[in-house]
Structure formats: C-alpha cells, structure tokens
Structure 1
Amino acid sequence: MAGIALPAVGALGLAAKGSVEGFDELPANLKQPPLSQRTTILDSKGDSIATVYSRDRTVVDLKEISPYMQQAIIAIEDARFYQHGAVDLKGVLRAVNRNAQEGGVAQGASTLTQQLVKNVAVEEAGDDPTKVQQATQQTLGRKIRELKYAIQLEEELGKKKILENYLNITFFGQQAYGVEAASQRYFSKSAKDLDVEEAALLAGIVQSPSRYDPLNDPQEATKRRNIVLQRMAEVGDISQAEADKAKDKPLGLDISKPKNGCITAVKNAGFFCDYVREVFLNDPIFGKTKEDRAKIWNQGGLTIRTTMDPKAQKSVQASIKDHVNQKDEVATAATIVEPGTGKILAMGQSRPYGLDIKKNETTINLSVDESMGGGAGYQPGSTFKPIVAAAALEDGMAPTKSYSAPYKMEYPSPISVCGGKNWVNTDGTTLTNENEAEVGPYSMKKATALSVNTYFVQMIADIGICPVTEMAEKMGVERADGAKMGQNPSIALGTQEMSPLTMANAYATFASRGMYCTPVAIESITQRVGETSKSLEVPKSTCSRAMSENTADTINALLRGVVEDGTGTEAGLGSGRPSAGKTGTTDFRYAAWFVGYTPNMAGAVWVGDPAHKRRMVNITIGGVPYAKVFGGKVPGPIWRDMMSGALEGKPNPDFNRVYIPEDRPDRGRGDDDNDNGNGNGNGGGNDDNGNGDDGDNDDGFIGGADGDTTFPTPEFSIPENWIQGQTNGGNNGNGNGGGFG
C-alpha cells in the first residue's frame, strides 16, 4: 500500500503527490479530528443562557462510554476490529467479489478505522455539498485513500483511541453527533449509563440514521436493534439468553428534544445571545476572514462568558412585559450598559426571539445596528439634543446661553458644515416647538428641560454642524444602517436613525464624566480542542475622552432637570437615586424614546413600529389607550421600572454636582473697585458678604477679598458646593471684592 500514488482529496486538504514520501504524510486532522461541538453561552455570573451548535456533540473519553456501547458498535460494524489490522482482508475479498458481480462499487467492507477516515472528511466538508460529495463518493480512489490512512492511524493511534474517535464523530440521527449526544437525545442519560438494549439500538442506527430512526419508524428500529443484539451474542459479548431477554424489551425511549440556538435561550436572552454570535462572526480578533470566524464558531466547543447581568436582564424584560404587549401594533426595545466599562448588561424587546410571524416573533434584534442583526434604526428625536449641547459647551458656549427660541421659525441659513462648506435653507424650511406656548427666550437649562426645538436649532446654527457630528463620532453615535451622518441642521432634532444600544452607550459617556467606552458583550471564551482547553482572545472595550469633565458635569446637570421638573418626570427614580435623562418623540410619532442614566448604569428605551408605518396616535399599548405617545409617557416609565430593578442593591453614587444659573447672561457683576453689582437676580448675601441691590438674600456669589476673582468664569458652570455669599465683599457690593449679581 505504501507505494500507491493518491489523487487530490480536497475535503482532507491533501495534494496529489506521486512520491512515496508525499503519500506517507498523514494529515494531523486524522490523528485528532477537529470535531464540532456545542457551544455554551453564559451570563456574567456563570449560569447558562443558551447552547448553540452546528452539530450537537459532546466529546467524551472512551472510559465515559458504556462497555455495552463499545461492544455493540464493534459487533455490528466491524466484528474483527481487534483481530485484523487497518484492513480486513477477508472483507476486502468478499467486497471485491461482490463488486465484480455487480459491475461497480456495491459493497464497501470498510473497517471502523476506514469509516473514521471518511467521517473526518465529512466533518471537514461541513455544509459544503461539493465537499460532502467528494468525501462520500463511491469510487475506487476514495477506498484506496481510506485504506492508506487507516493503516497509518492504526500504527499511530491504536485501537482504543480509534474506537473513541469513531464513537465521538459518528452521526446517530436526530441532529445527534457522537454517542454522548445520541444517548442524551434518545434516552436522556449519559453514554456511560447505557444498558445493553439501549446500546444496541444506537449501534444499529449508524448504518442508516433515517431508515432506522426510532422516532419515525419504531418497528424498523426494533428489528435493527435485535439484529445487533443477536450479533453481540454470536461474537460472545453477551449470552444468547441475555440477547433474547433484551429483544423482548420495548425501545424504552426517553426523548430530549434538541435545544439549539438562541431561540432556546433562557431569561428572555435570545437577542443578547444573537448579538454575541454576531460579535464573534464580525470581529477580526476571532479570525482574519468571515469564513475563518464561521469555521471556528461552527466547530464550537466554546464556553462564552458574557457581560449580561441576570438581575438587569430580568428587570428589563419584566418592565417591558408590564408596559407593552407582545401583540401590540408597536414594539419596544431596551438596552442597559455600564458607564466606564462599555459592558452591555441587558438587552430585551417586546417581540420575542422566534420565527412565528403570526405571534409577533422576530429574529431582528431591535436594539442593535443593522450590521449586527438589527434593523435600519429609528430616529432618536430630542434624545440627540444633549449631544448638540455637549458640542456647544466644548466649543466654548456658556451653559447660561439664551436664545429667542420662538414657537415657529425658518431654519437659520447659512450654517457651516464639515469641509468648509455651508448648508443653505434654499426653500424656506421651517420648524416649530411641540406646543404653541413654548416661546422664548430660553436659557440652556430651561430649553433642555422642556425640549425646545427652536432653541437647539439656533444653537447648532451658532456653532455649525461639524462640531456636532464630530462630537457624535467621539461618543460612538452612528447611523444604524451604517450610512454617514447627514450634514443638516435637522440633526439637532434627532432625524438620523440610531439603535437603542448606540444611544444607551452614548449617554454612558455623560455618566462617566466624558469618557466614551466601546460596547462589549463578551468577558471570556474558552475553547475545547480534543482533550485540551485553551483561552481565546476577546474584544476589549477601549475608552477615550469625548469631552471634558466639566462639559459632562454640565450636561448631567441639564439632564437632571429633565427628570426633576421637565418632560421626563415620569422616568425619575426618586430622590434616593440621582438620575438624568432625556425624552425624545419624532415627527408624526413613529418613535418615542427615553434615554437616561445614573453614574453607574445607562439605559435606552425605544417604542415604535419597526416598519415605520404606525403612528402612535389614538393607539393602545400594553392595554392602555393613548391619544398621543410622548417620550416621557410610555418609554419613560419603562426606563424607570427597568432601571429600578437593575439597580436594586447596587451602590448609589451621586453625580459631580454643578450649579447653572437660569438667567446668567443678564446679571450684573461688580468691578474690582466700587461697583454695586446690580443685576437681575442672584444678588448678594447678608451683612459683609456682598449685597447686590437687586438680589435675594440667599443666592449671592462673590469674588474673594481684594478683587481676587476666584469664582468660575462665565464660560463654565459653577460647582454647587460654592457657598453663597462668601468672604469680604463689602456692603451693597461696594469694595474690593465686588458683588456678583
């Protein structure tokens, strides 16, 4: 055999070589077959979320397989396994005689070792029909290759290892690959616990898994089982009496249905599971090409520990269930991330993971971008406004900036965009505020609390569009469909489609005082290869500064006002848990949002029609009728309830507090020498502490003694821990200190 030249074998990755040296090279995958196995996905606590596999298999050692199973498979497939070498010459002569009579390849006479060679080829072929055909074609060339490699395997592995590999690679029907998976599927027990009649049934299936399927044809399966039992008696593995007794027993099936894929995920974590799969298939850290990554994923044997916090996940799904029904015309999706780490803690939606459209099931992950298994995204509405404000503050705008903010206005024109160009309102496009009563002038704090459209459009007109899109990029904000961000002032009103994960992680930047961290879902991965395990490198969150701490602190102060006395009061977590956030409602009410955070968790909630067809007017959601849906009315309470549960028992840190005067641009300010510090509000304190003529008696801020201007400059917000009416200002604002009206 050693002198035979082999043709190419694509499925085994072998090249055609005419030399003895080339022929003698044994592929490593024949010694240690890369068997695909199930992959287990865990939450952050180590509990299983789901099991996924391309082939359901659990590799076990030979000592973990019942002796009856070992005897049964040898008796029916290769009774002289321990007597002959890699090739059973008696079987070969018998097959040659039969094939000559038939004029083709009618009988194989393959030993277990030869079958192992073929099964490795089939395993490597995967789902490629061309490679599968090459690995199983009935040709003399394939039989010769099997003989050659079988000889080498016998020399290098030995009988017991060959038997172990064979029992782990063989297909037993019903999606079960390997004897352990088959034992669990048909009898709900481990392979080490199989009794003689159970082992005989499994051994009989191997020749034709469809024909001898005990679920589809129990009578045919019983006949085949009894043939195996009789063969075991004939070769002396069991007595005839034992065989006869076993033949009289029923099949005794105890079926465990296959549980494969994210559709079987527990804790309503199907979409989180699906996102983990998408991360694996898309991140180059797991392989240079998508094909490389898919091969590793399909090979399986992975234990993936994720960032999913079970308490947060449970709270998200409970809140969703309380507020939005599965069969509602609109849906909701929610995501929670951890500021400062990028860890995705929870991800859920009202339409479950599944394929039954009639039940409103879907496999589209409404929380993520299109490239990661999501949709094309949804306009975030006014939840984008804080990004505009952050860009303005970074550009040097004072947090007390006031604009006329009329109820209705034309978009200002021209407005600068990236690349040194201008956007021009050529057709007189106008915009309005939500209510006719919303008429300025407004300060930044009030405009944010009330979500005044015209204020933020005037703001973006002042600073230009480019600083806003650049700030969005620094905060990881991008369109869900992968397109470039539009260079249009309407961006200030949230007209670019985003995903809930994107918005939650962007707001986490505010919570972490300006540090943006890329989102991550995987903590660690261990892969079992053969009998060994190894750790795989996983994506790490990378953090970068998107804005100054002062800017982030100021945004936090602005957004605290939204939940304290603005449009998001129904989302407030109560006085015991400081929170901040922003509502968002799009034109025509196709989508409504609430995005908010505490210093240690950030979350986004979207409600709307994924198809962008059903307006949320005169609609019933969660059994409650609504004339109009607002961001603070439906998404806000969902956010409140999911965050309350997720944060239960967690630390309760506070924000770095800053104070933003409402009307600061109009106040007076004392000079170094002898001004009275007259101004509109916020005058001096009592006695010697800098009375401003028009001020109240409790809000005065002054410079230090002798004109030392130790207060913050007008471009920045004032820390709340500044004490009212500090030292030595002089009565009525007179004196070296100067009053600060």
Structure 2
Amino acid sequence: MLKSNPVLSKLLAFFGISALLGALGAGMLLPAGMLAGAASQVGTEMLDQLPAELNEEPLSIPSVILDQDGNEIATFYAEDRTPVDLEDISQHMIDAIIAIEDERFYEHSGVDGQGLARAVVHNVTSDTQQGASTLTQQYVNNVLVNYQNLNGLRTTVSGTKQIPDKIREMKLAVAVEKEMSKDEILEGYLNIVLFSGRTYGVESAARYFFDKSAAELNIPESALLAGLVQSPNALNPETNPEGATHRRNLVLGNMRNQGKITEEEYDEAVASEVTLDLNPLPSGCYYAKDGFEYFCDYIQRSILADPAFGPDRESRQRMLDRSGLEITTTLDSELQEAAVETARRNVPAGENEGVGSSIVTVQQNTGNIKAMAQNTDYEVGDDLSNGETSLNFNVDKDWGGGQGFQLGSTLKPFVAMAWIGSGKSMRDRVDASRNNYDGARFPAYCLPGGHARIGSDGWRPKNAIADMHKPMRMDYGLYWSINTATIAAAYNTDLCAITDITDAAGITDAENNEGLDPSNPSFALGAYNVSPLTMASAYSTLGSGGTYCEPRAIESIVDADGNEYTVPPIQCSPGALNPENIKELNNTLTAIASERISQGRLNFPIAGKTGTNNFESSTWFIGYTSELATASWVGNYLGNGQDYTLRGKTIGGRYFQDAWGSLIAGPMWVDFMEVAGPKYGTDAFPKFDGPTGNPRDYSAGSSGSSNSGSNSGSGSNSDSDSGSNSDSDSDSSNESDDNDSGDNDSSGNDD
C-alpha cells in the first residue's frame, strides 16, 4: 500500500510529475482527458517559481455601528463572520469537520499522499469523482480566495482551478504546516470557511442555523454544519433538508467509524430531526434598529465620504463591509427612541401624503448629535408607498437629505442679534409701520455699492396680526414675530452684518451648502431652505452663550485588529456670537418658549423661536436648554407651494384650520423635551445686566396707544411667523401671497 508522505518534494519524487498531475486531476475532479499533455506544461522549475509564503489579509469581519453606550444600531458585512478561538468551539464540531474532510489531519504535513492515491484509484475505477484536499489545503485555498476578494484579483474557487493553481495550493499547504500548529490551522479553517450564503465561520453558522454559539453545538448540529462545507448552497438545510440530512448522516457515520462517537450516540443522532432556529444577521441601514435607519444612513455616508477609509467610494464600502469596524457614535438611544416615538405619534406617517416630521438634537459645546428622527419608514427604491422614503429630512442634500425647508421666522433671532450688535437694545423701538420698500436701498457693506436695492416690482411685506403696522419695541416685534418689525430692523442695521452672524452660527442652504445671500433682503424673513440639523446647531450657538460647534456623529472607529482611525474631533468656535447680546436676546426667546410653547408643561429654563413658511407647508420650533438644542419640524417634504399646505388637514388626530409652528412643531418639541431635558443640564440662562421688559407688553416703553388688542395678551399665542414673503428662489422684489400665508400671523387664533 502506498504510504502517506507529507513533504511535497518527496511526493514528487515518488510519483513523478506525470503521476502527480493525474493525482492533482483527481483532487480537482478534472476529467482524465483534460490532463493530456499537462506534464509538458508543468515542470519542477514551476514549483520553485511559486510563492512559498501565504499572502494573508485580515478575515472579512462585519462592521457595527454603536450608540454612545456601545449598543448596536446596525451591522454591515460582505461576509457574516465572528472569529472565535478553538477552545470556544464544541469538540463535537472539531471531530465532525475532521471526520468528513480530513481524517488524517493530525498525521500528514499539509499534503496527504495516501489520500491522493486513494482518489486516483477511485476516480479511475468509478463513475463518481473524489477529492483529496486536506484541511490545510482547504485553509490555504480559503485564505487565497479571501486575499483575492479583498484585492480584486481572479478568484480560484473549486471548479475553476487549473493545474498550477492546485500545485501552488499544495506547496503553500506544506509551508503553512511548517509555520503553524495543527490547532492554529484548524482554528483558522473553522473561522474562514463558507457554510451558507454569506455566512462564514462556525460561530456565525451556529448562530444563523441554531441561534447558539459554536461552543454549544451538539453532535447532530455539528455533523450538519460539517457536512455543509462541501457544497454550502446545494446542501443548505433551509432549501434542501433531505440533502442536508443525508450529508449529516454521512458525517455521523464517519465520526462513529473513527471512534469519535459511540454507536448509541450515532443511532440517536441519525434518528433526530433537523431542527433549525434561524437567526440571520441583517446587513445595512435598511435593517438597522427601528427608527435608527436615517441616522445609520448618515453615518454610512460619512464613512463613504472620508478618504481615511480608502481612495474611492467603492474601497470605502469594502472596508465598511469587511474590516470589522467598530463605529461608536454620539447617539443617545434613549433620546433617539423618544424622538422617534414623538415624531410618529404627532405626525403619523402616511396619514397625509407627503407630510413628515423630524426631531434632531445636538449637544452644545460639543456639537454631538444625540437624536436624529423622523416619522417615515426607511425605504429605498422607486415604488414607494405614502409614508415611505429614504430621504433624511434632518440633513443637507450631500448627506442624504433634500433641498431643505424654508426657515420662516426661525431666522428672526439672528436679525435681532444684528440689531443689538449695532448698539441698539431690544427695548428700543423699531418702525414696523412701514410696509412699502419699493426701490429701497438696504445697507449691506459687503455688496458692491454698500447696499442691496429692491427692484422695480417692489416689496411690500405684510403682517397677519391686525393693527401691527406701527412703531413697537424690538422685543415685542420678535415675540409676536411681526414681519414689518424684522424688516425695519434689517433696514436700520446692515444685511451683511446679519449674514456675518448667520455664517458664524453655521447657517447654510441645504442644497448647495452656501451661506445666506445678503443681496436678497427677503432672506431676513426665512426665505432660504435649510436643514433641521443646521438650525439645531445654529441655535446651540445661542444656548451655549456664543460658541458654535460643528455637528458631529462619530466618537471613534476601531478595526478588528485594534487600529484606531481618525474621526472628526470636536470643533468649536468660542465667541462666534457675542455672549452679552445673547443674554439680552434670551429675555425674549425664553418668553416665547415658556409662555407660548411650553405653557407650563416644562419646569426648567427653555428658549426658542417658532417658524412657519409660505403657504404653511413647513412649520418649526427650534429651542434649547443650557445643554441641548433641538429642531422640531413638521411639513410637507414634497414641496413648498399652495398645493402642499398643512392648512385644513387632520394631523395626528387634530384638525388644523391654520398650521403654524406654535400649533404643530412646538407641541411636538415639548413632548420630546419632557424626556430629553431632565437627562441633560437645564441650568438657568445667564441674566442680562441691562434693563429688560416684558416682550409681550406693547405699551411699555412705546409711544402711542396700545393697538395690540387681544393679540397682546399672554394667552393669545398666535404664531406670527412669516416664513418669508417670497419663495426661497425669488429675488429681492418679491411680494407675499394674497392671503399673506407667508406671514402666518392670523389674529384671534390661539396656539
């Protein structure tokens, strides 16, 4: 009988090159006719030219996105694999794989000459074909395939191998046996081999098929998995239970014959039914934790845009799918779950076509995103139902969002900041009686000529609250969101001074990521389309006392080998806005938030501003505590025009004759902050040392009689938001729509 010889050079000497080629053909299951003339193609010198070292790459391991506390949000993988030590694999599994794949594993040195000879005899005398690859050779082959996959090379899998491929595999197997112990080879094999579909390695296979660890596998389960490696897809027990059972029983027979199990254990295992407890590992943001999909999408796009993870998008995706990245984010899952529940409850997805809601929260002094939620279901494709979209309402177009939403009156606090910065006070009067700016020249130091001029079509901003065309204190005008007061303040300040402030607060349009254009005075009434994340970050500058921090979502990234990757650090600009001016402004913004929005529901200091755009198709409340800034948005994400208005709709069980930020987005903000506020700091805002007054009291400090009527009382919470008197793409000569929905200040309606 031919004796097993582990050394390839001795094997060549024993067989001769022609005999070896025949044996290799048997190992590769090649018909004998294909080997004719092969000896002339392969010489001993070929072996000397083949590499003696195995090119290894890290195993493809799934990457995970985690929240700030290490809880899993989503998984990405090309190959579902969880490497484990050999000691963490059931001995039954070890015995099963050796019994069926390489019974002399502990006897040979990489190549089994006896197995080759047996395969030659079998293949010559039988209609069936038999292979002779050892576990070491299979390990080598899997390592080569892994290397080829990661480097975009030709993959030499079974059925496609040529003679040189097989010889190379054998030589490398001998080399591997000299460098690695048997247990190391076995551990490597059981972690790299394919079991089914995209499930690689015994730990992932045990979880997938039986929802248990590899250490817990019993005899029949181990035999089933060991049987799959021959033909993972054809023998899949999900689709071919009969074939999988037959193969399992063959493995069990080998285990019995080799003394790994007793006759009794064999009989019991063969008689057992194949019982699966399938637990597939989903991959990608579509399968992220419910309600976390859009944040996951934002993280994925951040990775794919970062050159630190590869020279192009394809290589970065490959790293995300294969490198075992542990991506720890800034997300607070408790706040995220509250935001998702609040957004969905207040604005049920699909209740009205195109009506969406979003809540996004950033932490002041870090820029860390703590929540990013919306009401819709995350779906990708063209055939989407109402309430389904992959559009992330919270972010700019470059990060998976759309064109953003018109700001409305949420921009007015920054106009007020410029007013204060020019040396005026919120107690000073502004001439809100003027509503005709035809041909007006607005100061704008950064523009040619030092001004922006209204065109020949003119501009006549309107107010929705009656009797508001009159001089008034600036704080009163901001409290009731009077358009003519805001425009008068801009006219008596400088448009470029306003955009200097909005630039410092990070306000850019969502589509082009450009700052606001001072050449169009209507920007002061919120004509631009901006994302909720941008506005939450802008308002965090007010909440922090003047420090702007760029929003960030990733705390750290570490790969499977412990290598750390550089992520965007906390990037803050202290003093971006004047802290003393913010203190004065806060006197008005705290009154708006506490009196008109919270109405006693929140027992900690808050500040913020409402906003509603043209035609009431977008509504806002953006508010902050001493530590968190949150943008709450409700609107139609399909468009801004009259056809997309929220007026006259039933939303979340409430009918809205008028749709203002104080009526929809504001209450949603309060619902969320009941959870979010107490978890983080809610200190009192620094007090302004100068004189202040009650911003809703028209008469104090103002000349003339009070004409505020019922609209000046604390209980008359009309949201006098302008949004804008023009569409966001119009020039400086715009006029509001006839019913003045751009002002959204209808009098006599309580919030």
Which sections of structure 2, spanning at least 5 residues, go unmatched? 1-7, 18-44, 696-700, 704-751
Q: Partner letter of residue 70 of structure 1?
A: I
Measure the CA separation in 2 of the matches of 1:626 and 1:363: 27
Aligned match of 1:473: 503
Q: Deviations over 1:543-599 (max 9, x none)?
A: 10311211222232231232355xxx1345657312111111111222111101111
Structure 1 position 663, deviation (Å): 11
Q: Which of 443, 448, 457 lines up with 1:420 in the alignment? A: 448
Q: Partner letter of residue 547 of structure 1?
A: L
CA distance 1:22–1:512, change in 2 (3 Å): farther
Structure 1 position 353, deviation (Å): 3.0
Aligned match of 1:538: 567
Aligned match of 1:554: 584
Q: Deviations over 1:619-643 (max 9, x none)?
A: 1111211122101110000001101
The answer to whether residue 188 in structure 2 is matched with residue 161 in structure 1 is no
Q: Partner letter of residue 635 of structure 2?
A: G
Structure 1 position 337, deviation (Å): 1.3
The answer to whether residue 380 in structure 2 is matched with residue 348 in structure 1 is no
CA distance 1:590–1:107, change in 2 (3 Å): farther
Contact 2:360/2:631 (8 A) holds in 1: yes
Aligned match of 2:481: 451
Aligned match of 1:735: none
- Partner-residue secondary structure (3-state), 1:594: strand
Q: Deviations over 1:182-241 (max 9, x none)?
A: 101111111011111111111111122221111112112111111221222333333444
The answer to whether residue 659 in structure 2 is matched with residue 635 in structure 1 is no
Measure the CA separation in 2 of the matches of 1:588 and 1:653: 37
Structure 1 position 655, deviation (Å): 0.8
Contact 2:356/2:635 (8 A) holds in 1: yes
CA distance 1:457–1:661, change in 2 (3 Å): same
Measure the CA separation in 2 of the matches of 1:109 and 1:391: 82
CA distance 1:21–1:147, change in 2 (3 Å): closer
Q: Which of 240, 246, 259 lines up with 2:269 in the alignment? A: 246
Structure 1 position 297, deviation (Å): 1.7
Aligned match of 2:193: 170
The answer to whether residue 234 in structure 2 is matched with residue 211 in structure 1 is yes
Q: Partner letter of residue 414 of structure 2?
A: I
The answer to whether residue 647 in structure 2 is matched with residue 617 in structure 1 is yes
Q: Partner letter of residue 491 of structure 1?
A: F
Contact 2:593/2:623 (8 A) holds in 1: no
Query: Within 5 A, what are the aligned runs for 1:273-672?
Result: 273-286=296-309, 289-329=312-352, 330-354=355-379, 357-358=384-385, 360-406=387-433, 408-410=435-437, 413-415=440-442, 416=444, 418=446, 420=448, 423-430=452-459, 431-487=461-517, 488-529=520-561, 533-544=562-573, 545-564=575-594, 569-572=596-599, 574=601, 576-612=603-639, 614-648=644-678, 650-658=680-688, 659=690, 661=692
Contact 1:573/1:644 (8 A) holds in 2: no
CA RMSD of aligned residues (A): 3.4
The answer to whether residue 109 in structure 2 is matched with residue 80 in structure 1 is no
State which drifts further: 520-529 or 62-71: 520-529
CA distance 1:101–1:248, change in 2 (3 Å): closer
Q: Partner letter of residue 154 of structure 1?
A: E
Measure the CA separation in 2 of the matches of 1:368 and 1:278: 11
Structure 1 position 653, deviation (Å): 0.8
Contact 2:76/2:320 (8 A) holds in 1: no
State which drifts further: 308-317 or 508-517: 308-317
- Partner-residue secondary structure (3-state), 1:576: coil
Structure 1 position 433, deviation (Å): 2.6
Measure the CA separation in 1 of the matches of 2:341 and 2:694: 43
Measure the CA separation in 1 of the matches of 2:140 and 2:599: 65
- Partner-residue secondary structure (3-state), 1:528: coil
TM-score (norm 1): 0.79
Q: Partner letter of residue 76 of structure 1?
A: I
Structure 1 position 510, deviation (Å): 0.3
Q: Partner letter of residue 549 of structure 2?
A: C
CA distance 1:96–1:587, change in 2 (3 Å): farther
Structure 1 position 65, deviation (Å): 0.7
Q: Deviations over 1:375-411 (max 9, x none)?
A: 2311121112222333443454544453322474336
Measure the CA separation in 2 of the matches of 1:66 and 1:382: 65
Measure the CA separation in 2 of the matches of 1:463 and 1:140: 83
The answer to whether residue 142 in structure 2 is matched with residue 119 in structure 1 is yes
State which drifts further: 146-155 or 300-309: 300-309
CA distance 1:506–1:583, change in 2 (3 Å): same
Question: Percent of counterpart pairs with the same letter?
Answer: 36
Contact 2:535/2:631 (8 A) holds in 1: yes
Measure the CA separation in 2 of the matches of 1:399 and 1:273: 42
Measure the CA separation in 2 of the matches of 1:266 and 1:313: 11
Q: Deviations over 1:456-479 (max 9, x none)?
A: 333334444433333223222222
Structure 1 position 284, deviation (Å): 4.3
Measure the CA separation in 2 of the matches of 1:348 and 1:637: 16
Larger RCO (CA under 8 A, 6+ residues apart): 2
Contact 1:385/1:492 (8 A) holds in 2: yes
Measure the CA separation in 2 of the matches of 1:293 and 1:159: 35
Contact 1:553/1:656 (8 A) holds in 2: yes
The answer to whether residue 255 in structure 2 is matched with residue 228 in structure 1 is no
Q: Partner letter of residue 368 of structure 2?
A: K
Aligned match of 1:63: 87
CA distance 1:646–1:21, change in 2 (3 Å): farther
Contact 1:65/1:191 (8 A) holds in 2: yes
Contact 1:411/1:489 (8 A) holds in 2: no
Q: Partner letter of residue 602 of structure 1?
A: A
CA distance 1:436–1:68, change in 2 (3 Å): same
Measure the CA separation in 2 of the matches of 1:97 and 1:606: 76
Measure the CA separation in 1 of the matches of 2:505 and 2:294: 24
Measure the CA separation in 1 of the matches of 2:515 and 2:50: 59
Measure the CA separation in 1 of the matches of 2:114 and 2:419: 87
Structure 1 position 247, deviation (Å): 1.3
Runs of 4+ in 1 over 6 A off after TM superposition: 1-4, 18-22, 94-102, 127-130, 133-136
CA distance 1:407–1:591, change in 2 (3 Å): farther
Measure the CA separation in 1 of the matches of 2:606 and 2:154: 58
Contact 1:122/1:135 (8 A) holds in 2: no
Aligned match of 2:58: 34
Measure the CA separation in 1 of the matches of 2:386 and 2:136: 49
Measure the CA separation in 2 of the matches of 1:135 and 1:383: 64
Q: Partner letter of residue 201 of structure 2?
A: G
Measure the CA separation in 2 of the matches of 1:125 and 1:555: 62
Structure 1 position 161, deviation (Å): 1.0
Contact 2:156/2:165 (8 A) holds in 1: no
Measure the CA separation in 2 of the matches of 1:52 and 1:450: 49
Which sections of structure 1, spanning at least 5 residues, go unmatched? 5-17, 665-678, 682-741
State which drifts further: 282-291 or 483-492: 282-291
- Partner-residue secondary structure (3-state), 1:410: coil
CA distance 1:194–1:223, change in 2 (3 Å): same
